[in-house]
Amino acid sequence: MKILMVCLGNICRSPLAEGVMRQLVAEAGLDWQVASAGTGNWHVSQPADKRSIAVARDFGYDISKQRAQQFNQEMFESFDHILVMDRNNLRDVLRISDHPEYRRKVMLFLPDELEVTDPYFDDQLFEPVFMQIEERCRQLIEEIKAKSEL
């Protein structure tokens, strides 16, 4: 199983989701690969935002070695699930390919058409966003495991 988390710059939300999911998957003994990317190219090769690194560390996750990359066409081939943090990034990802098989892999990270708020401009949002991401990662592991057992 290969899972890709996507946000705008790949420095706040998607690195948190990658780091949390990667650790939870390892703790569950699952042989899954997890990565993240951004739809924009502003931060390619840069580490996650220092506030994301700090909040992850506060809760026992290390995302300090992750580096930003930009989402591209080849990622449709490489990943089974492409989980996007908000509707704008969902639109940008879907714009890259109109192939039905690829489009079926893409969905919002949160259920019920909800979005993960971008905490970039508000330091106070990093912890609530982290908590939301961690809870959803736990749910996703169970959901994906259940689907793959069918």
pLDDT of residue 98: 86
**How large is the average pLDDT for residues 121-138?**
98
The amino acid present at 149, given as its one-letter code, is E
Distance from C-alpha of 65 to C-alpha of 47, rounded to nearest angstrom: 7
The predicted pLDDT at position 65 comes to: 97
The per-residue pLDDT for 83 is 98
Q: Is the alpha carbon torsion for 55, 18, 96, 110 positive or negative?
A: negative
Q: What is the mean pLDDT of residues 54-73?
A: 98
Q: Tell me which residues are annotated as active site.
A: 7, 13, 118
Give the span between the Cα atoms of 30 and 22, in whole angstroms: 10
CB 5 within 8 A of CB 32: no
**Given its phi and psi angles, is residue 67 left (phi above 0), alpha (psi -120 to 50 degrees) or beta?**
beta
